[in-house]
Chain A
Amino acid sequence: MEYLIHIAIIFAIYGGLAVSLNLIVGYTGLLSVTHAAFYGIGAYATAIMLTAYDFGFFASIIGGVLISSIIALLIGFVMSRFKEDYYALVSFGFNIIVYSIFLNWQEVTRGPLGIPGINRPSLFGFDFSESWSFLLLSLVFGLILYGISAFIVNSSFGRVLKAIREDEKALSVFGYNVNVFKLAIFVISAAMAAVCGSLFASYITFIDPSTFGLNESIFILAIIILGGLANLRGSVLGALALILLPEILRFVGFPTDIAAQMRQVVYGLLLILLMLYRPQGLLGEYKL
C-alpha cells in the first residue's frame, strides 16, 4: 500500500508541475524549458528554511513562492521579449544558470552534497509524516493548482493567452501589451512550480542539484506533450502515464541481467507508439 501511496504522491507533484507548465507552453505557445529551475527554487527554499532557520513547512512554501516569483519576474522581463525558438533557448540557458547556482553556492545549498534531514510538515499539531497523510496534503495542493489553472484558462486573461499563442502580432494591433501577459503567466507558473518543489523536498527529505537539471525540465515538457497541450486534463493524464509506466515495468520480470535495459527499451517503444498515433498528445488541443 505504501508503494502505491508513494506513486500517488509523486503523481500529484508532477501533475501540479505539468498543469503549471501547460499554462505557458500549451495555452500561451511559449516553449519554456526551464520549469525544473523554479521547481528547484521551491525545493531549496523549503529545505533551507526548514533545516537552517526552523521555519514551518507552510511558511517555507510561501517563501519558495515569493523567491520563485521574484526571480521569474526578473528573468521573465527579459524572456517575454523573445518568442518561438529564441524563447526556448533563453529558458534553456536560465535552467542551466539556476542548476549551476544550486551546485556551486555551497554555503547556502551545500552544493553536490545536497541537503538531508528535511522535515515532513505539521499543521496545528497534526503531523504529515505518515505517507497517507502526505498523500492527502499533496492531493489538496494538486487540486488547488489545478483549480487555479482552470480558473486562469477559463477567464478573459486565459483567452488573451490563447490569442497570444495564435497570433501575437494581431493581438498587439488591438492594443494589448503582450509582453505583460507573457510575463504574468510566466510568474504564475513559476510560483506554482515552486509549490511542487516544496512538496517534493519535504516528501523525499533530501534534495541535491541533480533533481533539478535540464533533464527534469525536458521530462516535465514530455509529460505535457504526451498528455496534450492546452488541455489541463491532458497534463494530469500525461503525468499519470509517465509516472506510472516505469513503475508498471518494474513488475515485468525480465531476465535479471538485462531487466533494466529492457524496461528502458519498452518505455521508449511505448512513447514512440503513443506519439505515432497521437502526435497531438492524449487529449491535446494544440500542436507545437
Chain B
Amino acid sequence: MKKIIGILVFVLIVLFLVLGFNQEKLNNQKIGVIAPLSGFLADYGEEIKKGVLDVLPEGVSVVIEDDQCEPAKAVSAFKKLSEIDKVSIIIGPGCGSPQEAIAPLMKDKDIVSILSSAASSNLYETSGGKMFNVQYSLEDESKFIAEKISESGYKKVLLIQYQNAFSKTHSESFKRNFNGEIVEANYFSETEDALSVLTKFKNQVFDAIFVTDVTFFFNQGVERLKQLGMNYPVYSQYAVELPTVIPLVGDVYYSFPDNLSREGEVVRELTRQSVDLAMKALDKCGENTVCIKDYLDNSGEFLSGVSTRGFVLKRIENGKIVSF
C-alpha cells in the first residue's frame, strides 16, 4: 500500500513538473507581480492576478510570485524578480507588511513598484521614491470618512477595528481627524463572531458606526447589529465593493476611489490601471528605471508617489451598489 501511494505521489509530482517546465517564457517585455496567492488572503491576491492578466498585452510576459502576505517570503519574491527575472517594474506587493519589508530594499535596486491597493503614505519616501500607489493613502481615506460623518452632523461614532495593520492605520487616522466623540470596539481575532464585542455597546446610543475592516461583515456584523437593535448608519472603506463582500454589507456608505469605470471590481480595476501605467512606462523607457521613475513622477497621476485621484462617497443598499 505504502509503495502504491509513493508511486502515485511521485507520478503526480513528475507530471506537474513536466507540465510546468513546458511553459513558454520567451517574451521580450516582462513585468513582475507580488501578491498573496495562497494563505488567508488568497482571494484578494486572485483579484490582483486577474486584473493583471485582463490587460496584459500580447508579447509581454508576467512573472507572478506568491508572498502569502509574509515579509520574509515577499523579500524572497522581490530578490528573485529583481536578480533572476530582471524585471524593471513590479505590481505589488498587495499587503502592508511585505510593502514595508520591500520598500527599503528598493532604494539600491533598478526596479520600480506600483501598488494597486490603498497603502501607508510613507512608502514612497522609504523606497527612495520608487514605490508608487495608484490608490490613495489609507490615512487620507479615513480623513475623508471622518469629514463626511462630521458633515452629516454626527457627533458620536462607534469605531470598529481589528488587530491588523490595515484596520489600525484607518483607526489612527480617523481618531486624528474626527472632532466628535469616538467609542472604540476592538476585535482581537479575525475569526471572532461580531456579537462578542458589540454586545458591550448595545445600551449606548451612537450617531453612526465606522467599520475599518471588512472582516466585520464576514463575521455577520450586519446581522448582529440588527439583532442588538443598533440601527445606525454604517460607514466603511472601499474594500466593501469586493465581489465577495457586497452581499454581506446590507446598507453601507463607503469611500471609493474616483475615476474607476467598472463597479464591483475595485481591486481588479485598480490593478488594471497599474498595469496600464507600467506598460506605458515600459514603452517609453524600456528597462531604464531612472526614466520609468521620472515618467511616473511626471505623469500627473501621483503626488509624492501617492495617487492624486479624489474620493467619492458611495452607497450599497440591500446588497446592491446605488448611485449616491
User: Which residues of B are found within 8 Å of A133, using beta-carbon distances?
Assistant: none
Nearest-CB distance from A234 to chain B (Å)? 21
User: Which residues of A are found within 8 Å of B16, using beta-carbon distances?
Assistant: 252, 254, 262, 265-266, 269
- Whole-angstrom CA separation of A259 from B21 in the bound complex: 12
**Which chain A residues (54-87) contact chain B, with CB distance < 8 Å?**
none
Closest residue of chain A to B162, judged by CB?
A112
Query: Mask for B140-172, Cβ within 8 A of A = 1, else 0?
Result: 000000000000000000000001110111000
Nearest-CB distance from B1 to chain A (Å)? 10
Report whether B21 and A252 are in contact in the complex, using a CB–CB cutoff of 8 Å: yes
| Given A103-B188, A114-B100, A252-B20: 11 more A-B contacts, CB < 8 Å | A204-B71, A204-B101, A206-B97, A206-B100, A253-B25, A254-B23, A255-B19, A269-B9, A269-B12, A276-B5, A277-B2
Most chain B CB inside 10 Å of its own CB: which residue of A206, A255, A257, A261:
A206
Query: Mask for B96-124, Cβ within 8 A of A = 1, else 0?
Result: 01001101100000000000000000000
Report whether B9 and A272 are in contact in the complex, using a CB–CB cutoff of 8 Å: yes
Kindly state the interface size class of chain A when it binds its partner.
35 or more
Interface of A toward B, CB cutoff 8 Å: 1-3, 6-7, 10, 100, 103-104, 111-114, 116-117, 200, 204-208, 210-211, 247, 250, 252-257, 259-266, 269-270, 272-273, 276-277
Interface: B72 (CB within 8 A):
yes
Interface: B199 (CB within 8 A):
no
- Interchain residue pairs A-B with the least CB separation, the first 10: A260-B37, A252-B20, A253-B23, A260-B66, A3-B83, A3-B79, A254-B20, A206-B101, A206-B100, A6-B79
- Interface residue from B65, B163, B164, B165 paired with A250 (Cβ < 8 Å): B65
Interface: B6 (CB within 8 A):
yes
Nearest-CB distance from B53 to chain A (Å)? 7
Interface: B198 (CB within 8 A):
no
Report whether B188 and A2 are in contact in the complex, using a CB–CB cutoff of 8 Å: no
Closest residue of chain B to A265, judged by CB?
B16
- Whole-angstrom CA separation of A104 from B80 in the bound complex: 34
- Whole-angstrom CA separation of A204 from B317 in the bound complex: 44
Given contacts A205-B104, A206-B100, A260-B66, contact A2 B83 (CB under 8 A): yes
- Interface residue from A103, A206, A259, A277 paired with B163 (Cβ < 8 Å): A103
Count of chain B residues with a beta carbon within 8 Å of a chain A beta carbon: 50
Closest residue of chain A to B169, judged by CB?
A113
User: Which residues of B are found within 8 Å of A262, using beta-carbon distances?
Assistant: 16, 20
Interface of B toward A, CB cutoff 8 Å: 2, 5-6, 9-10, 12-13, 16-17, 19-23, 25, 37-38, 42, 45, 49, 53, 62, 64-66, 69-72, 75-77, 79-80, 82-84, 97, 100-101, 103-104, 126, 163-165, 167-169, 188
- Whole-angstrom CA separation of A223 from B84 in the bound complex: 27
- Whole-angstrom CA separation of A63 from B20 in the bound complex: 47
Report whether A207 and B66 are in contact in the complex, using a CB–CB cutoff of 8 Å: no
User: Which residues of B are found within 8 Å of A266, using beta-carbon distances?
Assistant: 13, 16-17
- Whole-angstrom CA separation of A255 from B37 in the bound complex: 14
User: Which residues of B are found within 8 Å of A206, using beta-carbon distances?
Assistant: 71, 97, 100-101, 104
**Can you list 9 contacts pairing A with B, beta carbon distance less than 8 Å?**
A1-B83, A7-B76, A104-B188, A114-B100, A116-B103, A200-B72, A210-B69, A254-B16, A256-B64
Report whether B17 and A252 are in contact in the complex, using a CB–CB cutoff of 8 Å: yes
User: Which residues of B are found within 8 Å of A255, using beta-carbon distances?
Assistant: 19, 23
User: Which residues of A are found within 8 Å of B70, using beta-carbon distances?
Assistant: 210-211
Report whether B49 and A112 are in contact in the complex, using a CB–CB cutoff of 8 Å: no
Report whether B84 and A3 are in contact in the complex, using a CB–CB cutoff of 8 Å: yes
Report whether A10 and B76 are in contact in the complex, using a CB–CB cutoff of 8 Å: yes
Closest residue of chain A to B68, judged by CB?
A260
Report whether A260 and B167 are in contact in the complex, using a CB–CB cutoff of 8 Å: no
- Interface residue from B9, B19, B101 paired with A273 (Cβ < 8 Å): B9
Report whether B76 and A116 are in contact in the complex, using a CB–CB cutoff of 8 Å: no
User: Which residues of B are found within 8 Å of A7, using beta-carbon distances?
Assistant: 76
Report whether A273 and B10 are in contact in the complex, using a CB–CB cutoff of 8 Å: yes
- Whole-angstrom CA separation of A259 from B242 in the bound complex: 23
